Amino acid sequence: MQRIGVVGCGLMGAGIAEVSARAGLDVVVAESSPEAAAAGLARLTKSLERAEQRGKIESAAEVLGRIRVVDSLEELADRQLVIEAIVEDETAKTSLFKELDRIVTDPEAILASNTSSIPIMKLGVVTSRPQHVLGIHFFNPVPVLKLVELVPSLLTSAETTERSRTFVEEVLGKTAIDCQDRAGFVVNALLIPFVLSAIRMLESGFATAEDIDRGLVLGAAHPQGPLALADLIGLDTTKAVAESLYEEFKEPLYAAPPLLARMVDAGLLGRKTGRGFYTY
């Protein structure tokens, strides 16, 4: 697969586009408007220029030359693999997969989702090719973190999964793990209850945000505390994943705490808005 499409050029979409272009692939990124496309291109340019300054790549301009950022899904018609990286909302994603099914002409093309929690089956069944639909879940920041979760649904063919594994491991140089098609997959099914427990601890007045995070960094050798991690993930995304997990399993540990819901309502989403549990 040499022609890669990405839908969405936010943090995750831009990261997926960047690692694909750095691997020598032809990348088209589709955004929802000319303004969003311009912002996405600026995000990619800044990241690649920083990578060049740090000696990670030889030429930012050369990598950018393999990326086109557009404002129309129709530009993805000739892609062999399209990875969706839009908002973590089931309605938005199923609508998008219906459109991709119509637009992408190659019947063997893979339609993948970077969702962190939504069951892949729900995305596959709205298309005419569920055997070519699966989850390819990257982690933020995509250029740095090596892990990718491969999530086939009950209808995904073994060939699609193996083609995706080859793309992830041999082309991008990342490490793939196999996950069942359950909300949260492997990492978030373990990580999100941990983060929610830290939010409940803060909410109850048990400890300050700084002490909760310091305790996990210095006492458990975590690279960062759970509240700082939530700010990095985005509190809106954290809440969305928690809701998907709770909807699937109905376990209290997956329920979003009231403090998290209020912060999302207030637009305090973490690093991307400049304020969450910490101010940036």
Do residues 165 and 176 make contact, with C-beta atoms less than 8 angstroms apart?
yes
Q: What is the pLDDT of residue 140?
A: 86
Confidence of residue 7 (pLDDT cuts 50, 70, 90): very high
| Model pLDDT for residues 136-181, shown as the tens digit of each residue | 999 989 999 999 999 999 999 999 999 999 999 999 999 999 999 9
Q: What pLDDT score does 226 carry?
A: 98
Residue 48 CB partners (closer than 8 Å, separation 6+)? 18, 57, 60, 63, 64
The residue type of 29 is: V
CATH architecture of 3-178: 3-Layer(aba) Sandwich (3.40)
SS (H, E, C) 12-33: HHHHHHHHHHHCCCEEEEECCC
pLDDT at 116 over 90: no
Q: Average pLDDT of 96-101?
A: 98
Residue 88 pLDDT > 90, yes or no? no
Check residue 37 and give its pLDDT: 95
Q: What is the pLDDT of residues 47-66, one digit of tens each?
A: 999 999 999 999 999 999 99
Query: Annotated catalytic sites, by residue?
Result: 116, 137, 149, 188
188-272 has the same fold as 3-178: no
pLDDT band at 108 (very low <50, low <70, confident <90, very high): very high
- Confidence label for 118 from pLDDT (cuts 50, 70 and 90): confident
User: What pLDDT does 117 receive?
Assistant: 81
Q: What percent of the chain has pLDDT over 90?
A: 94
Q: Long-range contacts for 61-68 (Cβ within 8 Å, ≥24 apart)?
A: 63/18, 63/21, 63/22, 64/21, 66/21, 66/24, 66/25, 66/26, 66/27, 67/17, 67/18, 67/21, 67/27, 67/28, 67/29, 68/27, 68/28, 68/29
- Of the candidate CATH numbers 3.40.250.10, 1.10.1040.10, 1.20.1080.10, 3.90.1150.10, the domain formed by 188-272 belongs to 1.10.1040.10
Would you kindly state where each structural domain of the chain is located, as residue ranges?
Answer: 3-178, 188-272
Q: What is the mean pLDDT of the chain?
A: 96
Give pLDDT, residue 9.
Answer: 95
Q: What are the pLDDT digits (tens) for 195-245?
A: 999 999 999 999 999 999 999 999 999 999 999 999 999 999 999 999 989
